[in-house]
A and B are shown apart, each in its own frame.
Chain A
């Protein structure tokens, strides 16, 4: 185990800004992408519901 105690762990040998800056931004971007994916899915479902409501559904299998 490299660290004795959490404070030393977060201090990261004086490079806290760089190490946690890198991992923090990476985590933020990944979470951001997951949120965007979720929002896009909701919007897509909403669009599909609307086209069903307005009866725009084509009768046969959709063309290529």
Chain B
């Protein structure tokens, strides 16, 4: 029982505010380091691709961004579910804090996908299964943020956003399946869990390092945004006043 007790200690915004404050620099540092390492691998160690020569190097940002955009949406739905189940305001704040970063990464995935498609498939936008699902995922993010923005009362905004995030996450596999059924042009999943990656391992290494770098960045960005949300919502409370005295 003791363990879960102090877990709940971090559910109170005040304690979490300090904890997040201490963690954020580490995550930004990890993101920067891994990012530099990943780009170094991607541009200097990875050989020229025989088919697409240099254009394929966009993969080192396109794939990590699309992985992370889907991963963040699932994490957002998990925080939403925890919030609805345990009625902890902080979980809702985490979900709202993740959405903008997820939407930005989805846009990055779409933008880099288009720029990569132009030289390789000859068109800026191709109605391919994975790009289309990414576009729909972008609409889901925008829908979540628009709904939260349209509701003034924070309590209702949190819960309404949480519900649409959960309804969305249930639909993501169905949408992905139906879009794939509808059309598939994208190269086969070159990195799928089942078969061995059909790319040189050095390329895979670069991509994985970049994926972790983007993950660290997403955590850092979400944590700093959640601190701002906590401040905005708790600005009339005692601990914020003390905090400001300490800072001022």
Is A in direct contact with B (CB under 8 Å) within the complex? yes
0 or 1 for each of B220-231: is its CB under 8 Å from A? (1 = yes)? 010011011101
- The answer on a CB contact under 8 Å between A37 and B221 is yes
How far, in Å, is A27 (CB) from chain B's closest CB? Answer: 9
**In the assembled complex, B54 has its CB within 8 A of some CB on chain A:** yes
Chain B binding site: helix, strand, loop or mixed by DSSP?
Answer: helix
Hey, what's the 0/1 contact readout for B61-99 against A, CB within 8 Å counting as 1? 110010000000000000000000000010000000000
B95-122 interface mask toward A, CB cutoff 8 Å, 1 = contact, 0 = none?
0000011001001100110011011000
Most chain A beta carbons < 10 A, residue from B54, B221, B248: B54
Known: A15-B54, A18-B58. A48 touches B112 (CB 8 A): no
Interface size class of B (residues with CB under 8 A): 35 or more
Pick 6 A–B contacts, CB within 8 A, sort by A. Answer: A9-B43, A13-B53, A14-B53, A18-B116, A26-B108, A47-B235
Chain B residues in contact with chain A, CB under 8 A?
43-44, 46-48, 53-55, 57-58, 61-62, 65, 89, 100-101, 104, 107-108, 111-112, 115-116, 118-119, 217, 221, 224-225, 227-229, 231-232, 234-241, 243-244, 247-248
